[in-house]
Structure 1
Amino acid sequence: MPISRRPIVLAAAAALAACTPQPQPVSAPAPAQASAAPASAASVPGRASGGVYDLLIRGGRIVDGTGSPWYRGDVAIRGDRIAAVGLLPGAQARDTIDATGLVIAPGFIDMLGHSEYPLLTNPQAASKITQGITTEITGEVTSVVPVNENTLRELGDSTRARVTWRDLNGYFAKLDSARPAINLATFVTVGSVRRYVMGDADRRATPAELQQMRGLVADAMRQGAMGLSTGMIYTPASFAPTDEITELAKVAGQYGGGYASHIRSEGDRLVEAVNEAIGIGEAAHTWVEIHHLKASGKANWGKMPQAVAAIEAARARGVDVSADQYPYPASGTDLDAIIPNWAHAGGTDSMLARLRDPVMRRRISGELTTGGDWNIGASAGGPSGVMIAGVGEDSLKRYQGMRLSEVAVARHQPVVDALFDLILADRSRTSAIYFSMSEQDIEYAMRQPWVSVGIDAGARRADSTVTEHPHPRAYGSFPRILCHYVRERHVITLEDAIRKFTALPAARVGLADRGVVKAGMFADLTIFDPNTVCDRATFVDPVQTSVGIQHVIVNGVPEIRDARITGQRGGRGLRRGGG
């Protein structure tokens, strides 16, 4: 039976890159509620001198983000910073939270979100803060910069109208004026840089074009981008050869940024794609982040150990490689990702024109079907493994939550025609969920000490006004790990889960004042009940917030109190190396 939608609030956290712990060995994890010996006085930062604090959190189990065992203590906040951590029996404050029986953790950091535009119109970000997310890193396939007519053309009408900036400084000014609930940092992407210079051309960049792209990457890096990112299965980045990307990654590396990638293959050529990303970072002399590490397609289940071995081999020779994942056996992306890569050349309008042209339509259909064996949704086992998630046209919303095979039956069409016509009718705005991964591979990746969490979903509302049917990861990813993989299945320990949520991603992108519960850090905190925290979002009913997140604080601002959204918003734009 579906559970009614009711906003529940998760807590935010502070992270510190400078305090990155050494990878913790994963032994047989203890349940989340298991006790640990209190930390000694020497290991706990002392109380700050004198004065009244703005907020005092008393009596919680502090899991500080470093991977160390929890200890009991208090956290005092003054302004937007943590002022003291430890046993503070005589401390006075204007406001107090009783954290007895609760875990006090740094605010959770989403290593891959898509909230750069949603935060401008939905700054409350309920789907994020109710998971305990206080900071998001965005910029995967496209980014908010650079901006010209080429990049604007591929945005929806409503999004395009909001773009009043031309550089990253302008975007951050716009973001801060919206007063977002969460902090946001961004990469600059090959997709946007290439589209700015070359449109969606399927060819190698000329020397002059490459030099122009280098300049655009440098501009974004000087204004605080985290690094360079690629979405290698999406146009136009999919048209970029490895050496071209390497040259752009070198620019990011010169400014202390890194190279992040949705790699070129997550299925048949998974290991080769992992090695391509590693090779780019190695040649560019910078760090590498592999987004949503997975082994996609039943034929590729069990390949995760090979992908991990490739990363471990690179790390052994000194290449700084890490990855992130989301805890679900299904991925989510656009429905038109099924269409062959070549048919996307020239952009969305060109792709739609090909689907309307009878000759091109037959050619594409032929590539998607071979002798009766469906290649449509092959990684998901065929059309029955592809669920329609969100659509733009109201007349098509009846298909949300249906499998592609069911849509074909409802429309009295062969699957390939139903696919083409749905993409055309929705002007390529349809998103889909692909059931293509195994739990064994998910757990294997999760056990790796260098794997953090990126939910691959933008901020959404969490009430009855939501009419789309998103992937449940948008509402449940972080609590799902705490519930299913820590408390119930003991895949990792509570302390290591919190490290993966906080200090690990903060260190990865260089957020030096976040990710650890420590005096002097920004006051991003997530406070939750380790015995009840859990996700409720499902593939059938995804718009459901989680339970057990009791308090969330962002830059000292209480955004969730007693599991209720307060309406206050304390987030801000974050730049590389800053807080």
Structure 2
Amino acid sequence: MRPLKSLLLSPLCFAAAACGGGPAPSVGPAPAPAPADAPYDLLIRNGMIVDGTGSPWVRGDVAIRGDRIAAVGLLRTAQARDTLDATGLVISPGWIDMLGHSEYPLLGDGRAISKITQGITSEITGEVTSVVPVNANTLRELGQDDVPWRDLDGYFRALEAARPAINLGTFVTVGSVRRYVMGDADRAPTPVELDTMRALVAAAMEDGAMGLSSGLIYAPASYASTEEVIELARVAAAYGGGYASHMRSEGDRLVEAVNEAIRIGETAGTWVQIHHLKASGRPNWGKMPQAVGAIDAARARGVDVTADQYPYPASGTGLDAIIPNWAHAGGTDSLLARLADPATRARLRAELTAGGAETNIGTSAGGPSGVMIAGVTVDSLRRYQGMRLTEMAAARGQEVVDAVFDLLLADRAETSAIYFSMSEEDIEYAMRQPWVMVGIDAGARAADSTVSGKPHPRAYGSFPRILCRYVRERGVITLPDAIRRFTSLPAQRVGLDDRGVIKEGMYADFTIFDPNTVCDRATFEEPVQVSEGIVHVIVNGVPVLRDGTPTDARPGRALRRGGTR
């Protein structure tokens, strides 16, 4: 998904005072631990501990001192300054979202309501674009004049000053380093340009990036050859980082795209993470076993390939994804100029209506009736939010193709859309694979009247939906295995060695929920609804959700690969 620029960047606040949150916490050395015989800071009593390893639950208590787990077991005589009763509840490690887009939202609203209310305590971001590198080229496409950082360490300082409720780490992306060096040019880099891009990846890795990521369906990364991406992935690999990818195709050439991702990681000598694994478009339904087979074959020969998914039969991205790739060259301003130019518009119209039909508009969703307008940035266009493209065109008295062009022009190509393009059978097949984790592909949001439009329900309900629909109701996977996919598997993937498992000495991130009632409430029609059954959420030893209510505590931290600073 390419997140909306306006959603991510308005408003920004980089210091706690600007966000109304009081003084920023120190990011220096942690205080000395309390004596071992001192009372614990927090004691979680009498829960069903599902430790994140895939093991069955056991009855027990968990004690926290500072930001770490101090003891696990039957702690009958333990004393603590604060206690949570977990009777009838599951105590799980905090859930890790392997694909979020909260790098900018957390700077403006650190509460992360849509994340904590579905049990997320940590997020990994940086898919299509990343917060670094920064220059006029990258800022222009974000619609931003400037940001108060120039490297990843500077961004992490701004993040911690903004006091987020959750932890966050990031990849550095092909799209951002390419745009920094080359703008949105549709060509191969020169040797000097490629060397500059290598240096930019190295700088981000030195500051703790998780690896290199690519959004190969989106310009300008879509203009990069496989060999170019391999060269950049080699740099990430040299620092112990991996390669993650929104692949070049998720539909007609799904298997070929899987094999390209595998080749990049295998040649670069590093692990591979395939983002939101799916078979998109009705003609491609049933291809999931072939995609899984390609991954299993790579794993059998020693290539470390894993994937993430979200549990919905619809994807979400910009409406401008409908426009052919060549028309995006040069960036947003160039795209808008082409849509406004009669000759170029006629060429685009011909491509999108080839054969006398408009099925080339929203092909993966079966045509324009399978695409819903999710969000716009211009007030006068808000009446179209929640409409299918066919309904929007009828309301405007236009053919669909012209209505889409005019909407993109009026909204400066910032319109988001939902594409109903996947089958439940493929979703379940992917979910059964032991190497698949969860990435919701959505940034942190509020859950009140300040949220406009019809955002994808995955933003509010992905993790509880798996526990409700796929564990409790349909038995696709077991509860211990679901928790493993939420916790230790993603932590292991990106090298968070001190998170993801309930064990003494680990960071105290917990999600405590009712296994009998946990469920999503967000729908495509009414998406801004928080999930139910998530009772307590603890980040770095501090409750951010207590008895189902946000506490407004903001103890989140930057996550750096391997703990680098």
TM range (shorter): over 0.9
Task: Say whether residues 1:345 and 2:332 are aligned partners.
Answer: no
Correspondence for 1:537 among 514, 522, 527: 522
State the match for 2:451 in structure 1.
Answer: 466
Correspondence for 1:134 among 101, 121, 141: 121
State the match for 1:561 in structure 2.
Answer: 546
State the match for 1:207 in structure 2.
Answer: 191
Q: Is the 8 A contact 1:304 1:444 kept in 2?
A: yes
Amino acid at match of 2:307: A
State the match for 1:9 in structure 2.
Answer: none
**What is the rounded CA distance, in whole Å, between the counterparts of 2:276 and 2:103 in structure 1?**
19
State the match for 1:275 in structure 2.
Answer: 259
**What is the rounded CA distance, in whole Å, between the counterparts of 1:464 and 1:217 in structure 2?**
40
Correspondence for 2:309 among 299, 303, 325: 325
**What is the rounded CA distance, in whole Å, between the counterparts of 1:559 and 1:151 in structure 2?**
33
Correspondence for 1:264 among 241, 244, 248: 248
State the match for 2:10 in structure 1.
Answer: none
State the match for 1:109 in structure 2.
Answer: 96
Determine helix, strand or coil for the equivalent of 1:408: helix
**What is the rounded CA distance, in whole Å, between the counterparts of 1:257 and 1:193 in structure 2?**
16
Cα RMSD of the aligned pairs, angstroms, is 0.9
Correspondence for 1:183 among 146, 150, 167: 167
Q: Is the 8 A contact 2:230 2:264 kept in 1?
A: yes
Task: Say whether residues 1:575 and 2:539 are aligned partners.
Answer: no
Q: Is the 8 A contact 1:259 1:287 kept in 2?
A: yes
Determine helix, strand or coil for the equivalent of 1:577: helix
Could you give the per-residue CA deviations for residues 228-274 of structure 1, whole angstroms, max 9, x where no partner exists? Answer: 00000000000000000000000000000000000000000000000
Q: Where do 1:177-576 residues align within 5 Å?
A: 177-373=161-357, 374-576=359-561
**What is the rounded CA distance, in whole Å, between the counterparts of 1:311 and 1:50 in structure 2?**
50
Displacement after TM superposition at 1:170 (Å): 0.5
Displacement after TM superposition at 1:50 (Å): 2.3
Number of matched pairs: 529
Task: Say whether residues 1:144 and 2:128 are aligned partners.
Answer: no
Could you give the per-residue CA deviations for residues 474-516 of structure 1, whole angstroms, max 9, x where no partner exists? Answer: 0000000000000000000000000000000000000010000
Displacement after TM superposition at 1:445 (Å): 0.3
Amino acid at match of 1:382: G
**What is the rounded CA distance, in whole Å, between the counterparts of 1:419 and 1:430 in structure 2?**
10
**What is the rounded CA distance, in whole Å, between the counterparts of 1:488 and 1:570 in structure 2?**
34
Q: Is the 8 A contact 2:386 2:453 kept in 1?
A: no
* 372-381 or 95-104, larger mean C-alpha shift: 372-381
Amino acid at match of 1:541: E
**What is the rounded CA distance, in whole Å, between the counterparts of 1:151 and 1:230 in structure 2?**
15
Could you give the per-residue CA deviations for residues 396-432 of structure 1, whole angstroms, max 9, x where no partner exists? Answer: 1111100011000000000000000000000011000
State the match for 1:70 in structure 2.
Answer: 57
Displacement after TM superposition at 1:213 (Å): 0.3
Displacement after TM superposition at 1:281 (Å): 0.2
Could you give the per-residue CA deviations for residues 440-479 of structure 1, whole angstroms, max 9, x where no partner exists? Answer: 0000000000000000000000112212210000000000
With structure 2 as the length reference, what TM-score do the two structures score? 0.93
Determine helix, strand or coil for the equivalent of 2:452: coil
State the match for 1:96 in structure 2.
Answer: 83
Displacement after TM superposition at 1:371 (Å): 1.9
Could you give the per-residue CA deviations for residues 131-166 of structure 1, whole angstroms, max 9, x where no partner exists? Answer: 100000000000000000000000134xx45x1100
**What is the rounded CA distance, in whole Å, between the counterparts of 1:134 and 1:275 in structure 2?**
32
**Structure 1 gaps, min length 5:** 1-47
Determine helix, strand or coil for the equivalent of 2:552: coil
**What is the rounded CA distance, in whole Å, between the counterparts of 2:537 and 2:303 in structure 1?**
36
Amino acid at match of 2:557: R
**What is the rounded CA distance, in whole Å, between the counterparts of 1:465 and 1:146 in structure 2?**
31
Q: Is the 8 A contact 1:114 1:138 kept in 2?
A: yes
Displacement after TM superposition at 1:49 (Å): 4.8
With structure 1 as the length reference, what TM-score do the two structures score? 0.91
Between the two proteins, what is the percent identity of the paired residues? 78
**What is the rounded CA distance, in whole Å, between the counterparts of 1:397 and 1:455 in structure 2?**
25
Displacement after TM superposition at 1:522 (Å): 0.3
Name segments (4+ residues, structure 1) moved above 3 Å: none
Determine helix, strand or coil for the equivalent of 2:142: coil
State the match for 2:20 in structure 1.
Answer: none
Q: Whose relative contact order is higher, 1 or 2, with alpha carbons under 8 Å and at least 6 apart?
A: 1
Task: Say whether residues 1:55 and 2:39 are aligned partners.
Answer: no
**What is the rounded CA distance, in whole Å, between the counterparts of 2:445 and 2:454 in structure 1?**
11
**What is the rounded CA distance, in whole Å, between the counterparts of 1:382 and 1:372 in structure 2?**
13
Q: Is the 8 A contact 1:390 1:430 kept in 2?
A: yes
Q: Is the 8 A contact 1:513 1:578 kept in 2?
A: no
State the match for 1:155 in structure 2.
Answer: 142
Amino acid at match of 2:456: H
Could you give the per-residue CA deviations for residues 35-58 of structure 1, whole angstroms, max 9, x where no partner exists? Answer: xxxxxxxxxxxxx95220000000
**What is the rounded CA distance, in whole Å, between the counterparts of 1:66 and 1:364 in structure 2?**
51
Q: Is the 8 A contact 1:263 1:291 kept in 2?
A: yes
Displacement after TM superposition at 1:323 (Å): 0.2
**What is the rounded CA distance, in whole Å, between the counterparts of 1:577 and 1:68 in structure 2?**
26
Amino acid at match of 1:473: R
Determine helix, strand or coil for the equivalent of 1:461: coil
Displacement after TM superposition at 1:294 (Å): 0.1
Could you give the per-residue CA deviations for residues 373-401 of structure 1, whole angstroms, max 9, x where no partner exists? Answer: 32100110100000000111111111110
State the match for 1:173 in structure 2.
Answer: 157
State the match for 1:21 in structure 2.
Answer: none
Determine helix, strand or coil for the equivalent of 2:185: coil
Determine helix, strand or coil for the equivalent of 2:91: strand
**What is the rounded CA distance, in whole Å, between the counterparts of 2:140 and 2:112 in structure 1?**
26
Determine helix, strand or coil for the equivalent of 1:371: helix
**What is the rounded CA distance, in whole Å, between the counterparts of 2:162 and 2:212 in structure 1?**
26
Determine helix, strand or coil for the equivalent of 1:442: helix
**What is the rounded CA distance, in whole Å, between the counterparts of 1:365 and 1:134 in structure 2?**
45
Could you give the per-residue CA deviations for residues 158-187 of structure 1, whole angstroms, max 9, x where no partner exists? Answer: xx45x1100001100000000000000000
**What is the rounded CA distance, in whole Å, between the counterparts of 1:494 and 1:393 in structure 2?**
43
